[in-house]
Each structure stands twice: as C-alpha cells, then as structure tokens.
Structure 1
Amino acid sequence: MPTASATSAREILTGLHEVMASKTQAQAKLNKVVKIIAEAMGSEVCSIYLLRDGVLELFATVGLNQSAVHVTKLALGEGLVGTIAEDVAILNLDEATRHPEFAYRPETGEEMFHSFAGVPIVRRERAIGVLAVQHAESRAYDDVEIEALQTVAMVLSELIANAGLADRATAATDKARDAGTARLDGLKLVTGMGRGTAVFHQPRILIEHTVAEDTEAERQRVYSAFRKMREQIDTMTSQAEFGTAGEHQEILETYKMFAYDEGWSRRINEAIDSGLTAEAAIERVQQRTRMRMRQIDDPLLAERMHDLDDLANRLLRIVSGQLGTAAQMGLRGDAILIARNLGPAELLEYDKRRLKGVILEEGSLTAHVTIVARAMGIPMLGRVRNIRQLVSEGDEILLDTGEGTAFVRPNNVLEEAFEAKLLASQKRRAQYAALRDQPPVTRDGTRMTLMVNAGLRDDAGALDLVGADGIGLFRTEFQFLVSATLPRRESQQRLYKSVLDAAGDKPVIFRTIDVGGDKALPYLKVEDSENEENPAMGWRALRLALDRDGLMKAQARALLEAAAGGVLNVMFPMISEPWEFDAAKALVEEQRAWLAARRKALPRDVRYGAMLEVPALAETLDILLPKIDFLSIGTNDLTQFLFAADRAHPKLAERYDWLSPAILRFLRRVVRAADDHGVPVGVCGEMGGRPLEAMALIGIGIRRLSITPVAVGQIKAMIRSLDLSALTPALEGMLARPPEDLRAALAAWADRHQVALG
C-alpha cells in the first residue's frame, strides 16, 4: 500500500489549493477534499468531522454511508473522534475497536474497517474538527502518513474557518471551555483584585495563508527569519553577562541550543517541501511540539518544550513581520495581561489605567517585575502553569490575588460574588481615603510616622494622595533595572531632584543601589557571580557597590547635587558589619568634598542611615549605632536569612510567619538597642503594610513604618483604633510565654479591643 511522502502531501495540497480557489459551496468543497485525500493516500475511508454547536458532526466522507453525513454526531470526549478533538491529540490504531473510547455508530457502516488514524483540525490552538482515515486491513499508519494528515488538516482549518463551517476557535470549543468556568491557582505576588479581558503580552500570530505559491521563496523567508532570530539570541546571550547564574543562564543556553538546532529547521523545511507557506510550516511544526508537550510528565522536559514553543513564536513573529507586543499595539479596554514572564521595562510600557492585573506562568516574589508591579499597585499572580493553553485572547478574567486565584469565563454567581467583594474593598478604600488628612495617632495619643516605599518618578505624587509623612525607602535601583544601559549620572540626578521636588517639605530616604544576586543588570558584568547558588546572599547591594565604587561614586554625586540646598537622607543596604557602613559613608563624603572644592551647591545636611537585613549586624549594633542618624529594618530579607528560607521558593513563601516569637523577639532587641542610643528605628519591609503585623511592630516599639502607598489607609485606620498602653504589656506577655499560635492570639486580642484590621 502506498505511503504519503512529502511529494504526495504536496500533491494533496495542490489539489486542495484548487478546491479552495473554486467558487463552489463549502459543502461541495469538502466532498471533493475527502476524495482527494483518499485517492492520494490509497485510503478506503476519509472523513471530516466539524465542531458545530459544541458537537462533532460528520460533515463529509468517502467510504462511509453518505446517509450518515450530518446525522452522525459525537460529543467532545465521545468515541475516537471526540477523544481526538478533546485532547487535541493524534490516534493511530491498528484495531480501532480495542480502544477504550471506541463508540460504534451503525448508520456509518464502518464495522468492516479495522484500522483508524485521526488528527485534529486545529485553529488558534484548539480543535475545530477531526480528519480521519480508515482501512479494512488491520495496520498501523506510517509516521509519514500521519505527518501528511496533519499537514492537510492545517490547510483544512483555513478553508473551514473562512467558510464559517465550524464553531469559532474560542474557549467554548475545548475541554476547559466545554466545562465553562475555569479556575486558575497560583502564587500571590502582588495583592489586589482586577477584572478585564485576557491579553497576551506577545499575541499569537494567526496564519491566514497556508498553501505556498513559490516553495523556494518560502524557504528563503524562513532562512532569513532564522538568521535574524539567531542574531537576537546571540545578542541576548552576550548582553546578559551579569547575574546569568542558574536559571537565567539555563534559559539562554536552551534558547541558543534550539535556535541552532538543525533538526528543528529541517522539520520546518520538510513542511515547506509539502507545500506550506513559511508561517504555516513553522506553525505546523509548533503544533506537533504542543501535542508532544501534552504527553510529557517530566516537568523539566516539559519546560524545555515550552522554551521551544516560545522560540517558535519568536520565529513566527519575525517571518510574518508582526514584532510588536500588546503594549506597543495598545490596550483597548480593561485588561488582564498574560505572559510567561515579563521584564520590569516591559511592564512599564503598558497603560496603567487599563492594565488591571497580570498573570504569569513563571514569576517570583523577588523578581524585578514583581517589585515594579507592587510599586505600581498592579495585582499579579505567578506560577500559573499552562495558562496559555487554558486561556484565549478576549476571555473574561476575574483576578483575586489575595486568594491566589483567577476565574476565566466566570459564571453569573462568580461575577456577583466578585463584584460584591470588590465593592466592599472599594468602600474600605473610600473610608481609608477619608483619613488622608488625619494623623496616625493611637487612641492614647502616641504619634506614629507613616511613610511610603517608592521607586518610580510618579510615586512621590502619592504622598499627598494617601496622606503619608514622606518616602521612607526610595529604591534607586529601579532606574537601573528598567534601563537598557547604565543610567548616566545626569539622568540619575534629574530623577532624584524630581522626587525631592515632588515630596516638597516631606523627607525622602534614598537607598543606594541594590542590584546583583537575583537583580541582574544585563549591561553590568561582574566576574565570579555567574555560578552563585544563593544569589540573595551573594555579590549584591553594598557588597557590589563598594567593589564597583565607580558606580556608587556616580550615584553619590547625583544624590548630593539633586539635594543641593536641602537635606539628603541616604541609606546603605545589606550591611553585614560596621566597617561596610564606614566605607560607604567615606565614599559619599569623598564626593561631597570633591563637589565642595569645585564650589558646587551642596545639601545643607546629609543624614546617614543603615538597613538591617543581615542578622549578623544585630550583634555589632553597639559599634554601628553611634555612627548613624537612623536605622531601617528590611523585614523581607531579614526574615529569609533568619529562617534560612528562600522567599522566592513556592513551598517556603508562606511557610514562615512574620508573627513568630523568633522574629518579634529579634526585632524587639534591635529596637531597644536603638532606643538606648537615641537612634530612630523603622521598618521598611512588607511586614509593616499588613495591619496585624504592623500592630505587633508598634507593640514592640517601632514608631516609623514605610509601606506601599495602597496600605497607608488601612494601617492608619488600625493605628487610630489602637490603645498602645493596653497592647504593649499584652504583647510582652505573649513574647515571654509564646502561645502555640501567636498570630491567632494577636488577632483575638485585636478583636476584643476593637482594633480595625480591615
């Protein structure tokens, strides 16, 4: 029996091209199509089933009873045809009746046929039909025959879609959508709620023309696209010299391996040989990859297949000339952005007014994009696997990152519940907004200082909006993270001055650059950093800045010039020992003297602070405290160092509680040491932005909190409802004899004393 080689596949496509170009009706075209395929493959049966109103309907056949056309119907998942469509998978059976999903339809007259092969007809990654062949002889089909069927099915999808014969390739046509609403679970990266339609950061390219007019011309288009893609990957690899240890390097090396994989390019060439256009050939090979991905249980191998899928999308965009992201094309309404991962600069390209949330397949608590999203107040959910297979462009999504969930295609009940929760949240925000001009004073008269964390130019504008006392942490590294090249000193100075001007009389504490480790700058190469196993505890922050003092000197001069005539508050991150503070301060003072010698305008005062993030520093506070003007505790890093627990690890992210005796006792010891030396101490980590945690911090003596702008209202409401004279002794008792669940005990105390926890 003859097999379908690439040559015969091309003959089939040539015949299909003529049929598609004819002016006959769609039904007549499909009747001709099944005959062409059957003759070319020497098949006794060839049938096309199309998805109509959610059911697979026999639409055209040669070999089965014609009376069964438009009569035989199968639900998704029913029979062999339904299984193929539901799983978007291939079936190749030498004895069809042995398959557990086999369903006999007597009206078709198929009882005489033993072997069966079927492939899905795919449109926008979803099955809109099935193409099947059958033989009376019991035999398995050759790989080359299956390849030919898949190629033909791709071309058929264009004919079927253009004729409007099948259900549109939307969510209602696959398994998840057949079930209606889908729930997605992930890791909470930035808390919040958002509603909008799904928008892919890199939209899929829809293949409109599948049959090639000139095979050689299509081949040259693919060659050119491969060259451009390889140049892009080589550039990415060469630029990502800093912080490429571990995952970063693996991804780039895998991309490079696939980009230069001759097997991949050969398969695309073979698809072109069969008569496909360059775009269709890439998509044809990509479909095969996706089908394999669905069958892979090994998560590491599946991840590599995702890399190839991403790379195929890149190649497809290059060959089609459609290179823009959704941000560059513009959002047309409220949107939930879908991406595998994002860079901080990419996120900043989006219209903040319309971007209501982000869902990532990857993502971590410490990723650059998470830090920026938190600063922008955009809800973000991470670690949502296979989201691009479960969601389509335009799907309605309800995102509630506080619960770690998103609902796709929600029903009325979910929408009503979401709207009620959102309305309650908006009412609370309105109540908090009413407190904007009210001071954060406890019921018994103790004044707290509420400041905000910032990192973007526009963040300073939030001070008056939320009624904050100043900026307690300005992350200067944001400018470095979102820039393609090292920001010049003049650029840094403009940013710092604009922030100081916007803050007016309110203080701004600038933290010197905290990059390195997991905050990689692709344009900055640091030797010996490529193989860091624990980047959070590696060559980063002040360690890196003192080593690369040219970087810090430029920043110090920019800060001094920006604060001319005012007060400069500068804080050094990740100090482990007092000598590091001494070295950093000396470097700033050196630049101050350099500017003074040139009669440049200078700040009237420079106040120096230190961040306590490394537990070791607590053992030398008696040495450090006399040298500093203020102390800030970075609870994010401090917690993971105290517990030896990576905050970015999904299994550890929520395991270790800020409200544990270990954390609170440690912080209380630091506060008492600072009080003894008359040094004001504050907290500038996420811990201070949670009402119950903030209450505990105040109870152990913290009087300054620097938090996200959106948290100011609820923390102020908590403070104004709090009787500090009652809390302090109660908390002291709990820390002296810790209850089994300190969090629950604190919550119960707050409830009894009517503390507003939101």
Structure 2
Amino acid sequence: MPLTAANSAREILTGLHQLMARRGSAQAKLDLTVDLIAEAMGSEVCSIYLLREQSLELFATHGLNKEAVHVTRLSPGQGLVGTIAAEGRILNLAEASTHPAFAYRPETGEDRFHSFAGVPIIFRERSVGVLAVQHADPRAYAEVEIEALQTVAMVLSELIAGARLTDGTARRGGQREGMVRLAGLKLVSGMARGTAVFHEPRVVVEQTVADDPELERSRVISAFAKMRTQIENMTREAEFGTAGEHQEILETYKMFAYDEGWVRRINLAIDSGLTAEAAIERVQQRTRARMLEIDDPILKERMHDLEDLSNRLMRIVSGRMGTAAQTGLPSDSVLIAKSLGPAELLEYDRRRLKAVVLEEGSLTAHVTIVARAMGVPVIGRVKDIGHTAAEGDTVLVDGNQGSLVVRPTRAVTSAFETRMAMGQKRRAEFAAIRSLPPISKDGVRATLMVNAGLAEDAGALDATGADGIGLFRTEFQFLVSAALPGRDAQYRLYRQVLEAAGDRPVVFRTVDIGGDKALPYLADATDEAENPAMGWRALRLSLDRSTLMKAQARALIEAAEGRVLRVMFPMISEPWEYEEARTLFEAQIEWVKARRPGPARVEFGAMLEVPSLAEMLDQLLPRINFLSIGTNDLTQFLFAADRADPRLAERYDWLSPAILRFLRRVAREAAAAGVPVRVCGEMGGRPLEAMALMGIGIHNFSITPAAIGPVKAMIRSLDVGAVRGKLEALLAKPPRDMRKALTDWAKRHSVALD
C-alpha cells in the first residue's frame, strides 16, 4: 500500500465524514463507503457484512457480485466472516481457501480472489459486523493495512449503530424476570447477600472523527497526567498495607501507566483523524484482538491491566468519572463487571462492597489477589451475567461453591440466610476451639498447618490456631510479577513470612512454575505443552534453570538467619532429582555462611506427587527430614484423570480404595524409617477424607485456613484406634461405595463431619 496507515485511514475518514453528513439512506452511504475504502487501499474487493436476525448478511460490496447483496448470509462462526464476528478476531490470509473455516459462496463470484483480510466491526464491545477486503493475488496484508481497516471499522460502527441496521446491542437487562441460578469459578471464598451494582467502566464513543488533531493530542496528554497522579495516590493509600504480592501488582500496574509505547499508539491513531476518545478505543480494540491470540494466562492478565487503565483514561478524557465507585454505593453492594483491574477495585468502599461477580477472571488474576487481601468474596467466569442481572436486583453470592442466584425467591433467600447463619455459628464454634490442640478422644495428637502463598496468609496462623505453614507456595511471587523477582525481593518476602510465623514452622516449597503456570518472561522455558501438568515444570525446570534456583536458595537461606529453614522440592520423580536440588542448596548454604550467619538448621523435604517416587522410597527416605504428599497431582496421575475435567469427577475420588492403599503403604514405609509424613492439598482439608487419613496412619496435614476449624473439630470427636480398625477391614475387602461406608460409620460414632 503506497500510503502509511495513518494517511490511508485519514483519507478514508475524511471521505466517511463527508458521507455521513450527506442526506440519503444508510444503504446508499454504505455502498459509497465500500467504493471509498477500496479506492483508498487499492483493493479489488471491499465488503461489509452486518449482523441481522442472528446472521451475517452481505450488506454492501465493491468487487463481488452485486446480486449477492442481502442474499449471502452466514451464521456467526460459519466461514471466514462468521469466524471473525463470533471470535472478535482479525483474519489476514494470503490464501483464503486454505483456512479450515473457509466456506465458498458461488453467488458472490469470489472464486477469482485469493487473499483475504477481515476485521470485526465492534459496537459496545460486541461484534455487529465484519469489514473485509480481497485481492486476486495471493498475499498477506501489511500490518499498516490492517491498522487502517480497524480504524475505519470503528468509525463505521457509529454509522451502523446510528442507522439501527444491526441486531440490538443492549449489554444487559435482557432477562429481568424470575429467579436465575448461575455457576462460575471460585476465586475468593465467602458468602454474601446484596444488591447488584454494575461497575460501568466503559464510555461509549459518540464522536469518532476529529476536527483538530492537536486539540485531541493535548486532551490525551492532560488525561495521562491526571491518570498517573491517581495511580500514584492509590499506590500510597492502599488500605491493607504496603507489603506483599498485591503491592507488587500495583507497581506492575503503575508501570503500564507510564508506558510510552501506549502513548505513542494513541497519538498515531489521532494522526489518522480520530478524536481522543476514539483513539483510545481504537488502541484498546487492538489490544483485545491480540489478547485472543495469546494462550498464556499470565500475559493475558497483563493485558487486562492495560484494559483497566484504558477504561480509566477514557473516563478522564471524556470527563465522565461516574463509575459505581464514584456515584455512591448501596450498603450491601454486589459489584458486577466483565473484568476488573486491581486499581478499580481499590476505589470501592470495602465496608459497602459485599462481593464481586466477573464474567472473566482467574485464580491468578491481579484483581483476585487484591480482593483476597481485602477479604471480598469473588466469583469469576460467570457467563453473560451482564445480560442476566439488572441494576438493583437482589443477588446471593456463594463464593465457597462458586455459584450465585439472581432475583431469588423468598424461600431461596431464607435458605441462603440460614446457611450464612449456620456458617457464622460454625465459625464461632471453631473460634471457641482455636486455642485447643487437635487431639483425638484416644489421645492422638495431629498437626494442622496451613497452605499459603501470600505474605498476608501468615495472619491465618493466629486467626485459626494453626501449628504453622506446611506449604508456602513461593511461585506466587513469580506469577504476579512483570519480571523475574530478584533475590532481594524474594528475601524480603521470605523474611516477612518467617517473622509473622514467629516460633511456628514454615515449609517453603521451591518455585513450581511451568505447565499451566507459564511466565511471559520465561517463555522459552515454559512453552505450552500438550499435557502441561506432566510437562517441563517445577523441579524439572528449576534444575534446568539453575541460576533461578540458586537465587531462590540464597534468598531463603539469608532470610532464615538464626532460624530453622525448612525447604521441600516439588515434582520429584526419582531420588537423583532430590539429590541434585539438595546439593545445589547446600552449596549456597556454604557460600552464605562464609559471609554472614546462616540458618540455625536446615531441613530438607520432598513432595510425593509423581507415583514413581513411591517405588524408590527406600533410597529417598534416609536422605530427607520429612515427606509431603501432594494429593491433588498424585491422585490425577494415579487415575490418569484430569481433575479439571467434569466428565471424570467420579473417577477422581480421594476415598477410592486404590488411593487409600497407596497412601497407607507410603505412610508405613515412612514411619518405619522415622520420617514424618504430611498431606498437603485439598484431601486433608475435608473432614471425612481427613478421618480416613488418620485411620491409615497419617496425622499431619497442611490445608486451607478455612479448613482448620472443621478438621480440628472432627479430630477432637474421633477415636483414632476405632477408625484404624474400620479402615483395615474396609481396605481388606473394599465396599462398592467407600465414601458411603465411611460416612455411615462416622455418623454412628458421632464424628463431627458437618
């Protein structure tokens, strides 16, 4: 294309501006529009497809057969055009027919054209059509051509929406009557009843074409300055403290606010003739399109932060700061949003905010981490909540189950409030035994420790009366950082955790990244694998990247000065992997001690997650101080059943005789060697499963803080000798339903399972 993207887009926008000002039908204007675009881009074909009556209709074309206009129709997802509309992504193909979604429509006469490029026409975050160009010669379109198409598509959306040519684009309120139950992803636990409040971060762009580019540029510069001041103030004023992973998130967020590349892209969009608002939206659409091409969840989360900042910048430049955070909240607000950035969440009054419901979201999302620090329940991945709920609806949020009810009936509300009251009563009962030890009726002392991943999680020790931290997931610091955390940053975190724990033990698991926990700054080491859970992750990756492991080792050793350092290595398949990791750590211990005081003592442990390690325990046990069993991964490896696949849920049962026999054998071998065994994972946090573990000889658990109370209550009501005898009988001749058999036994013996 002989012109730059900005020049080409400006030429088209100028023509479009004149077209929109004319009198005439929308059809006539779009007919002239495709001619204009084709001429400006030197394109043989330019076509506009619009979403009408749930199908994409060829509405105007230059170069295809005119008889096909209003005749050719494609369903969303059908053909190249349907794929673009359904997925909101760009297609740029040198040979269109080779794409798996290609659908030939003979009435269009497109068989003589080979290359194809198409972009979605977006209105209020929804695809309402597709703008496409084609050439006879097979060639990929240049990036500048795609940029120009996207800019033009954005302006077209204004014309199309104004003429009401497409299906309705209302974002919510489609279903306002009757109770609706929805399911999502558990992100932050807790229960809440409240009033639906929409976050409303989006500003609708009402004018796209600018009269004075310099004026638009100055508006953007002023908005950036104001936004950066807001972010700086927010970082300083975060209510829940200045230390921990959430603070690193805010620092990463601030880094985006000062990204000059982002500023430059917005200015280029203004150069093409767009207003400040349209330019921000244009760059934002490009970011969303790129997000669709990214599989890495951590990198996607960085993109969500940029989306959040774009929304903030848009509100500033348009003078519309009226998000729910600024307009006043009901005292029982349940905030609803498609996605939410950490800074936006911090704007809300935590005393009035009862819960958050997101259409998107993930366990490692920055907003999830901040919400956890604020103590706000969150459910994510609630499909189309924006269309199901309406402002002011009553919403019941169960973050413990990952479910919610919109517009509940009186009976459902009453039952929910009863559950909340029971939960509060149970928490009061657990608080009453917080200072009591987990000793069974026949005098067996169990050890209840918590799993942690944030510095703030150490506060759960006092809140629950736990014996210590049995699993500190060090990778969390890596997952929320924009770059590899340095040794000093790691040292500060580990030191903070140890000081918060006081005399109680803390077991640090070395970093478990890779697989489904990929890091953008280690992309070559964490490439997507076909089976990520069994791929290049955890200790396998750390031994390969010994510099990374040495830095972590030194940070842990220095942080534990004068204390006992407990380290365990994850994902060990064979004893030689443990030996290599321990040797590396011991070398770093000698290095540190030659320069400064080191730990009073170092204990090394291994995680049994890979079944093959159980066959080598006779070689491993003499070399370790403790053994931790990671039941989450171990069980899915034993059963070859992905725990995330709902179709295999019944095959992933911790009370399977196969699992219990396996664990009993491990416990007996470790006991004979004098090595303590601890179960880390969800299995130990469930009272019935924990009862079974006590029965096979495992008395040490590392579980979620919320599980400490229920499991302690179970242990204090249990006769371990009796359940041991029952388990021996059941495992010798397993019943068809082990879970039912154990539940019935527990009820008969008044074991506290509820």
Query: What code does the residue aligned with 1:617 have?
Result: L
Structure 2 CA distance, aligned partners of 1:357 and 1:726?
43
1:670 maps to which residue?
666
Q: Paired residue for 1:210, among 193, 206, 215? A: 206
Query: What code does the residue aligned with 2:494 have?
Result: Y
Quote the offset at 1:219 in angstroms: 12
1:661 maps to which residue?
657
2:575 maps to which residue?
578
1:587 maps to which residue?
584
Q: Paired residue for 2:162, among 140, 146, 151? A: 151
1:444 maps to which residue?
442
Larger Rg belongs to: 1
Quote the offset at 1:200 in angstroms: 6.2
Q: Paired residue for 2:566, among 569, 580, 598? A: 569
Structure 2 CA distance, aligned partners of 1:737 and 1:187?
38
Query: What code does the residue aligned with 1:432 have?
Result: F
Q: Deviations over 1:472-504 (max 9, x none)?
A: 111111222222222221222222122111111
1:183 maps to which residue?
181
Query: What code does the residue aligned with 2:751 have?
Result: V
1:488 maps to which residue?
486
Give the 3-state SS of the residue equivalent to 1:750 in structure 2. Answer: helix
Going from structure 1 to structure 2, the CA distance change for 1:400 and 1:316 (only over 3 Å counts) comes to closer
TM-score, normalization by structure 2: 0.64
Give the 3-state SS of the residue equivalent to 1:648 in structure 2. Answer: coil
Structure 2 CA distance, aligned partners of 1:407 and 1:754?
34
2:644 maps to which residue?
648
Going from structure 1 to structure 2, the CA distance change for 1:286 and 1:370 (only over 3 Å counts) comes to closer
Quote the offset at 1:334 in angstroms: 5.3
Going from structure 1 to structure 2, the CA distance change for 1:565 and 1:670 (only over 3 Å counts) comes to same
1:474 maps to which residue?
472
Give the 3-state SS of the residue equivalent to 1:494 in structure 2. Answer: helix
What does 1:217-228 align with in structure 2 at a 5 Å threshold? 217=213
Quote the offset at 1:9 in angstroms: 4.3
Going from structure 1 to structure 2, the CA distance change for 1:319 and 1:325 (only over 3 Å counts) comes to closer
Structure 2 CA distance, aligned partners of 1:183 and 1:512?
41
Structure 2 CA distance, aligned partners of 1:189 and 1:671?
33
Going from structure 1 to structure 2, the CA distance change for 1:492 and 1:421 (only over 3 Å counts) comes to same
Give the 3-state SS of the residue equivalent to 1:517 in structure 2. Answer: coil
1:457 maps to which residue?
455
Quote the offset at 1:718 in angstroms: 0.7
Retained in 2: the 8 A contact 1:170–1:392? Answer: no
Structure 2 CA distance, aligned partners of 1:534 and 1:723?
42
2:735 maps to which residue?
739
Give the 3-state SS of the residue equivalent to 1:523 in structure 2. Answer: helix
1:511 maps to which residue?
509
Quote the offset at 1:382 in angstroms: 4.2
Quote the offset at 1:312 in angstroms: 9.4
2:631 aligned with 1:635:
yes
Retained in 1: the 8 A contact 2:518–2:527? Answer: no
Query: What code does the residue aligned with 1:502 have?
Result: A
Quote the offset at 1:182 in angstroms: 2.8
User: How big is the alpha-carbon RMSD for the aligned residues of Structure 1 and Structure 2?
Assistant: 4.9
Quote the offset at 1:381 in angstroms: 3.5
Give the 3-state SS of the residue equivalent to 2:662 in structure 1. Answer: helix
Structure 2 CA distance, aligned partners of 1:286 and 1:374?
28
Structure 1 CA distance, aligned partners of 2:56 and 2:195?
28
Going from structure 1 to structure 2, the CA distance change for 1:371 and 1:576 (only over 3 Å counts) comes to farther
- Structure 1 window deviating more from structure 2 (624-633 vs 549-558): it is 549-558
Retained in 2: the 8 A contact 1:195–1:356? Answer: yes
1:399 maps to which residue?
397
Retained in 2: the 8 A contact 1:612–1:632? Answer: yes
Q: Paired residue for 2:691, among 671, 687, 695? A: 695
Quote the offset at 1:205 in angstroms: 1.9
Which consecutive residues of structure 2, in runs of 5 or more, have no partner in the other structure? 1-15, 30-50, 60-69, 71-121, 127-154, 225-268, 289-294, 296-302
Structure 2 CA distance, aligned partners of 1:88 and 1:204?
29
Structure 2 CA distance, aligned partners of 1:145 and 1:555?
53
2:233 maps to which residue?
none
Retained in 1: the 8 A contact 2:195–2:394? Answer: yes
User: How many residues in Structure 1 have an aligned counterpart in Structure 2?
Assistant: 567
Quote the offset at 1:667 in angstroms: 1.0
Quote the offset at 1:730 in angstroms: 0.9
Retained in 2: the 8 A contact 1:366–1:648? Answer: no
Structure 1 CA distance, aligned partners of 2:724 and 2:345?
43
Give the 3-state SS of the residue equivalent to 1:728 in structure 2. Answer: helix
Quote the offset at 1:723 in angstroms: 1.2
Structure 2 CA distance, aligned partners of 1:313 and 1:190?
20
Retained in 1: the 8 A contact 2:123–2:161? Answer: no
Quote the offset at 1:11 in angstroms: 4.3
Q: Deviations over 1:552-575 (max 9, x none)?
A: 111111111111112111111111
Give the 3-state SS of the residue equivalent to 2:175 in structure 1. Answer: helix
Q: Deviations over 1:132-160 (max 9, x none)?
A: xxxxxxxxxxxx99985731459xx9xxx
Structure 2 CA distance, aligned partners of 1:618 and 1:220?
67
2:442 aligned with 1:430:
no
What does 1:611-622 align with in structure 2 at a 5 Å threshold? 611-622=607-618
Q: Paired residue for 2:554, among 536, 554, 557? A: 557
Q: Paired residue for 2:495, among 487, 494, 497? A: 497
Going from structure 1 to structure 2, the CA distance change for 1:656 and 1:329 (only over 3 Å counts) comes to farther
Retained in 2: the 8 A contact 1:542–1:573? Answer: yes
Going from structure 1 to structure 2, the CA distance change for 1:706 and 1:400 (only over 3 Å counts) comes to same
Retained in 1: the 8 A contact 2:389–2:406? Answer: yes
2:621 aligned with 1:625:
yes
Structure 2 CA distance, aligned partners of 1:710 and 1:348?
25
Query: What code does the residue aligned with 2:717 have?
Result: S
Give the 3-state SS of the residue equivalent to 1:520 in structure 2. Answer: coil
What does 1:130-279 align with in structure 2 at a 5 Å threshold? 150-152=161-163, 174-177=173-176, 179-188=177-186, 191-198=189-196, 203-207=200-204, 210=206, 214=210, 217=213, 279=277
Quote the offset at 1:391 in angstroms: 3.7
Quote the offset at 1:597 in angstroms: 1.7
Q: Deviations over 1:48-77 (max 9, x none)?
A: xxxxxxxxxxxxxxxxxxxxxxxxxxxxxx
Going from structure 1 to structure 2, the CA distance change for 1:506 and 1:457 (only over 3 Å counts) comes to same
What does 1:255-404 align with in structure 2 at a 5 Å threshold? 279=277, 321=316, 335-336=333-334, 338=336, 356-362=354-360, 379-391=377-389, 395-404=393-402
Structure 2 CA distance, aligned partners of 1:330 and 1:471?
42
1:753 maps to which residue?
749
TM-score, normalization by structure 1: 0.64
Query: What code does the residue aligned with 2:181 have?
Result: R
Going from structure 1 to structure 2, the CA distance change for 1:622 and 1:219 (only over 3 Å counts) comes to farther
Going from structure 1 to structure 2, the CA distance change for 1:443 and 1:145 (only over 3 Å counts) comes to closer
Retained in 1: the 8 A contact 2:605–2:628? Answer: yes
Structure 2 CA distance, aligned partners of 1:195 and 1:581?
49
2:704 aligned with 1:708:
yes
Q: Deviations over 1:237-279 (max 9, x none)?
A: xxxxxxxxxxxxxxxxxxxxxxxxxxxx99xx99x8xxxx775
1:133 maps to which residue?
none
Query: What code does the residue aligned with 2:734 have?
Result: P
Give the 3-state SS of the residue equivalent to 1:429 in structure 2. Answer: helix
2:718 maps to which residue?
722
Query: What code does the residue aligned with 2:571 have?
Result: M
Structure 2 CA distance, aligned partners of 1:639 and 1:347?
37
Query: What code does the residue aligned with 2:506 have?
Result: V
Structure 2 CA distance, aligned partners of 1:479 and 1:345?
19
Q: Deviations over 1:691-745 (max 9, x none)?
A: 1111111111111111111111111111111111111111121222221111111
Which consecutive residues of structure 1, in runs of 5 or more, have no partner in the other structure? 13-35, 42-83, 95-121, 127-143, 158-168, 229-264, 291-299, 301-307
2:552 aligned with 1:541:
no
Q: Deviations over 1:659-706 (max 9, x none)?
A: 111211111111111111010001110111111111111111111111
Give the 3-state SS of the residue equivalent to 1:176 in structure 2. Answer: coil
Going from structure 1 to structure 2, the CA distance change for 1:511 and 1:312 (only over 3 Å counts) comes to closer
